[in-house]
């Protein structure tokens, strides 16, 4: 083409540029060279080159080409140029650049073009500026279905489902017929709001409008049914899908997990033909949520053997499992793995590390990670406050709480559990009363059962049993077993048999099968030399067929967590364990 001079033909050169820009066998660098070689390339050539870069791994070059097009002159952008450039701004969240290009649009008079108009709305929505997007939408004289869908799905992606549904109602009034993209947004809105009745309405409308049940539409329908509590309906859609994607499988795994059907979730997980990191994270996270940390870590080891690279979500889930099990060795290994793989120590991952070290008892390391973190949020501060409180460092916990407030972060309900626990462990009654009162007066937080439990425990340990009982009477909700248990143990500690008896019977009303309560109540009567009552409690326990729950303990050895119950011989090394005497002068002792 060069030797024959055909390259100078605008039509021929534009076809070559298009091939290099968008063909799978093309080359964007070569495309750019041709564009610069040709004298006064047509707008089509610039547009197709911008399109190629907008869909590449370096989309920002699309904006560079646009600026170069303006600088060279001789070629004016058209109504196909701006949607492409706005697409780049949307993909990279270049809001300032987007507003600058919008100025060009207004100057050149393309604001009334529906394609350009839709590009502007898509850019504003993708950059999170929904207010300006809505303003552009309301002031526009040209709208098509894409315009409505862009704004509707923008509201959905930003979690503003109610506004998305209102916009859909306006769309119906104007007589615009929805398509599959509209329905994806509507069903997703119902999923966010957990509105099953409206979700069923949209499912019906999909059929009435004769819309194809595409894979994305099936996926969002399944998600809606799972979140609204209809697992059977979700399974029905999943079973009818001819082409199941990884999203489809993962949605159902999470659905089973939500309803506590972890064995079914695992079976589905094992049946998946291929898996990327997302379903692995879903299954590991399901085990963590169900407090089955050992299985979560076992699955993580399987994941490593499957050549799937873990990400930050994987690490957060595994660290949570370590926190549940007290598996410090595994947690330390994960910490090293994070550095080895150069994973970004973002706020969620750093907070998980702080929480893991704190709950596993390594407070110095928890503090080290905490202070190394460049960014911290309220969850990070809450983790270190709770960790310090858990290990009896009451004054340090309260000091960190004060620092948290000083840096402008607002504590939440979980933060106050840590603060009140610190007061409880430190016997700081006056401070505990003050913080409990400040929850409502200063931070507008309503105390929950856990907060009342902390206060009952704090007052009870300090011997203020009447005050503790008054707290229970003043609660706006029914006290649970934890609260009555805190009062009961305090009464035992301080020898108040009458109040302890009341608390114990409340506990037995809530859980008549808890053998530990009968035993402790009998012991309390025995300590008070009330032998008749002690015998009656043991007799009642026998008549009801209640057994004392066996004690359980665990120990981590070389990264493996071993669990034991009393007289348990299920462990593969039980013979060797039982051969070790109960008391020995040797360095190693197992009891």
Q: Which helix (H) or strand (E) holds 426?
A: helix 413-426
Quick one: average pLDDT of 56-84?
89
pLDDT score of 590 more than 50: no
The closest alpha carbon to 246, from 326, 308, 297, belongs to 308
pLDDT score of 403 more than 50: yes
The closest alpha carbon to 61, from 85, 80, 82, belongs to 85
Q: Token digits for 511?
A: 């859980």
Instruction: Give percent of the chain above pLDDT 90.
Output: 62
Please tell me the least confidently modeled range out of 97-111, 133-147, 470-484, 566-580.
566-580
Radius of gyration (C-alpha) of the chain in whole angstroms:
32
Q: b/e per residue, 378-397, with b = 16+ CB within 10 A?
A: ebbbbbbbbbbbbbebbebb
Q: How confident is the model at residue 388 (pLDDT cuts 50, 70, 90)?
A: very high
Q: How confident is the model at residue 546 (pLDDT cuts 50, 70, 90)?
A: low
Please tell me the least confidently modeled range out of 41-45, 93-97, 133-137, 580-584.
580-584
Please tell me the least confidently modeled range out of 32-46, 428-442, 557-571.
557-571
pLDDT of residue 589: 34
Instruction: Give percent of the chain above pLDDT 70.
Output: 94
What domains appear along the chain, each with residue ranges and CATH number?
448-549 (1.25.40.10), 550-591 (no CATH)
**Per-residue pLDDT tens over the stretch 264-317:** 999 999 999 999 999 999 999 999 999 999 999 999 999 988 989 999 999 999
Q: Is the dihedral of CA 448, 450, 451, 455 positive or negative?
A: positive
φ, ψ of residue 571 to 5 degrees: the values are -65, 140
**Residue 332 CB: number of other CB atoms within 10 A?**
17
Please tell me the least confidently modeled range out of 421-425, 432-436, 508-512.
508-512
How far apart CA 546 and CA 500 sit, in angstroms, is 21
pLDDT of residue 570: 66
pLDDT of residue 551: 62
pLDDT of residue 418: 93
pLDDT of residue 468: 93
pLDDT of residue 271: 94
How far apart CA 188 and CA 209 sit, in angstroms, is 18
Q: How confident is the model at residue 200 (pLDDT cuts 50, 70, 90)?
A: very high
Average pLDDT, the chain: 88
pLDDT of residue 584: 45
The closest alpha carbon to 250, from 213, 275, 221, 224, belongs to 275
């Amino acid at each position: 083409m060069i030797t024959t001079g055909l390259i100078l033909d605008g039509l021929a050169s534009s076809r070559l540029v298009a091939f290099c820009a968008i063909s799978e066998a093309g080359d964007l660098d070569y495309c750019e060279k041709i564009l610069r070689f040709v004298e006064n390339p047509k707008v089509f050539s610039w547009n197709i080159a911008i399109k190629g870069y907008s869909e590449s791994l370096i989309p920002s070059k699309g904006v560079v080409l646009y600026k170069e097009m303006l600088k060279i002159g001789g070629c004016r952008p058209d109504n196909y140029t701006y949607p492409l450039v706005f697409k780049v701004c949307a993909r990279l969240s270049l809001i300032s650049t987007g507003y600058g290009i919008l100025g060009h649009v207004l100057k050149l008079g393309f604001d009334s073009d529906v394609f350009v108009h839709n590009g502007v709305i898509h850019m504003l929505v993708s950059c999170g500026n929904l207010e300006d997007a809505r303003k552009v939408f309301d002031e526009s004289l040209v709208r098509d279905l894409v315009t409505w869908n862009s704004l509707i799905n923008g509201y959905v992606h930003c979690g503003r489902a109610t506004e998305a549904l209102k916009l859909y109602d306006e769309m119906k009034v104007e007589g615009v017929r929805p398509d599959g993209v509209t329905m994806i947004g509507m069903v997703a809105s119902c999923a966010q709001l957990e509105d099953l009745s409206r979700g069923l309405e949209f499912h019906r409308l999909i059929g009435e409008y004769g819309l194809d049940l595409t894979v994305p539409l099936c996926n969002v329908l399944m998600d809606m049914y799972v979140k609204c509590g209809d697992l059977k309906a979700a399974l029905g859609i999943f079973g009818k899908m001819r082409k199941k994607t990884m999203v489809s499988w993962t949605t159902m795994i999470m659905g089973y997990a939500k309803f506590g059907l972890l064995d079914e979730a695992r079976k589905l997980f094992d049946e998946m033909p291929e898996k990327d990191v997302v379903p692995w994270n879903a299954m590991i996270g399901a085990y963590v949520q169900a407090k089955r940390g050992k299985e979560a870590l076992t699955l993580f080891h399987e994941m490593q053997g499957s050549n799937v690279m873990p990400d930050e979500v994987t690490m957060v889930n595994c660290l949570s499992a370590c926190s549940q099990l007290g598996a410090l060795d595994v947690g330390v290994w994960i910490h090293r793995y994070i550095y080895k793989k150069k994973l970004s120590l973002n706020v969620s991952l750093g907070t998980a590390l702080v929480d893991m070290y704190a709950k596993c008892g390594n407070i110095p390391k928890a503090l080290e990670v905490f202070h190394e973190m460049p960014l911290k949020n309220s969850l990070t501060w809450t983790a270190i406050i709770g960790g310090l409180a858990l290990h009896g460092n009451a004054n340090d916990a309260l000091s960190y709480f004060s620092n948290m407030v000083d840096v402008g972060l607002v504590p939440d309900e979980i933060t106050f559990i840590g603060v009140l626990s610190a007061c409880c462990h430190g016997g700081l009654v006056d401070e505990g009363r003050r913080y409990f009162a400040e929850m409502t007066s200063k931070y507008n937080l309503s105390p929950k059962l856990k907060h009342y439990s902390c206060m009952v425990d704090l007052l009870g340990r300090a011997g203020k049993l009447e005050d503790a009982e008054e707290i229970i009477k003043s609660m706006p909700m029914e006290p649970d077993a934890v609260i009555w248990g805190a009062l009961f143990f305090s009464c035992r500690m301080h020898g108040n048999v009458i109040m302890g008896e009341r608390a114990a019977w409340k506990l037995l009303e809530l859980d008549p099968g808890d053998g530990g309560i009968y035993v402790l109540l009998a012991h309390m009567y025995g300590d008070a030399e009330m032998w008749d009552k002690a015998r009656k409690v043991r007799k009642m326990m026998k008549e009801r067929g209640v057994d004392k729950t066996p004690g359980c303990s665990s120990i981590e050895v070389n990264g493996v967590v071993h669990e034991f119950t009393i007289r348990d011989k299920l462990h593969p090394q039980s013979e060797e364990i039982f051969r070790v005497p109960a008391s020995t002068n040797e360095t190693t002792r197992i009891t």
